[in-house]
């Protein structure tokens, strides 16, 4: 029978999201890819240190411990194929069962998400993440300066999600930004029984729940919704999850409070948010990534766009 990734949770990840390659990356960013490749080859047998998403990947792969291949992790990298050898060697040294990789030597690799049928793409390259999100894939730009995950929960994958523009569409966020908090709360109270449309990370959350139901390894998944919503706007978020037949283990309706301290206590292996300020706050305590989705990021892109020439 042909080899297929059907019925598996597929995580595509860049080498810098999985391993700490920031020293080597300085050469690449300086415009000297040849020096970068030489350094990688010199360190071919020196395992790279864990990166920001390492804990998440390691724990997800443990769902295969009973011999049933439920999770597939694929390296999807702008590295050249020769440098890719070090990535595979580092994975082998860490006993991560990763056998597939795509190395594009500086070109954007996101187009390979389609044949992989990836459930999640994690990358340290913001442009690649934006292209993946535009193409309809769950994706996040990993903050490579974030704290590493806690080691206190070896048998539990902990993942925290923001709500609007991450698990849910940005419908409500658009009301908030255009009309203010009072209009937002009134809109959400009025629409409490009407489920929100799915956001870019909703398919990944659904895939996690399928994985948990199928597993017989003793590994567990614990999820949390960590949102700036507060009462009465909390009801629509809960009703939406119920309509998807999904229950998160924890829900934090913070009504604008800073998320960082709450995430420090939850100790996730990864946190996803669409707003850079929340990602920066979280990154002081936990692994975090930016989901460049929704109206907040449209505004950022307009600000960042170069002014037209006269």
Which are the catalytic amino acids? Answer: 162
Specify burial of residue 166 (Cβ count, 10 A radius: 0-12, 13-18, 19+). Answer: buried
What element of type H or E holds 234? helix 234-243
For residue 67, the 8-state DSSP code is: S
- Whether 274 contacts 297, CB under 8 Å: yes
Residue 228 token pair: 């700036």
Residue 221 token pair: 């998944």
Check the CA dihedral 116-104-107-42 and report its sign.
Answer: positive
The radius of gyration computed from the CA coordinates of the chain, to the nearest angstrom, equals 20
Residue 60 phi/psi, 5-degree rounding, is -60, -40
Give the relative orientation of helices 22-29 and 33-42 as an angle to the nearest 10 degrees.
150
């Amino acid at each position: 029978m042909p080899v297929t990734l059907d019925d598996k949770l597929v995580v595509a990840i860049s080498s810098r999201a999985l391993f700490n390659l920031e020293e080597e990356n300085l050469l690449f960013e300086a415009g000297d890819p040849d020096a970068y490749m030489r350094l990688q080859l010199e360190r071919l047998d020196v395992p790279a240190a864990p990166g920001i998403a390492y804990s998440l990947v390691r724990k997800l792969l443990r769902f295969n411990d009973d011999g049933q291949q439920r999770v597939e992790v694929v390296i999807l990298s702008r590295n050249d194929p020769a440098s890719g050898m070090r990535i595979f060697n580092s994975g082998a040294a860490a006993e991560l069962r990763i056998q597939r990789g795509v190395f594009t030597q500086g070109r954007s690799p996101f187009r390979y998400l389609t044949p992989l049928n990836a459930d999640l793409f994690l990358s340290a390259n913001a442009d690649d993440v934006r292209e993946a999100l535009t193409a309809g894939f769950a994706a996040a730009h990993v903050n490579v300066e974030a704290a590493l995950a806690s080691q206190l929960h070896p048998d539990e994958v902990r993942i925290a999600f923001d709500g609007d523009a991450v698990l849910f569409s940005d419908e409500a966020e658009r009301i908030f930004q255009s009309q203010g908090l009072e209009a937002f709360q009134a809109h959400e109270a009025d629409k409490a029984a009407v489920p929100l449309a799915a956001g870019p990370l909703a398919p990944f959350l659904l895939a996690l729940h399928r994985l948990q139901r199928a597993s017989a390894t003793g590994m567990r998944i614990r999820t949390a919704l960590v949102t700036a919503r507060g009462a009465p706007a909390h009801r629509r978020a809960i009703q939406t999850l119920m309509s998807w037949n999904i229950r998160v283990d924890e829900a934090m309706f913070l009504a604008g409070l800073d998320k960082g301290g709450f995430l420090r206590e939850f100790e996730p292996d990864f946190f996803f948010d669409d707003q850079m300020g929340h990602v920066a706050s979280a990154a002081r305590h936990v692994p975090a990534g930016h989901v460049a989705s929704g109206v907040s990021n449209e505004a950022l892109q307009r600000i960042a766009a170069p002014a037209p020439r006269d």
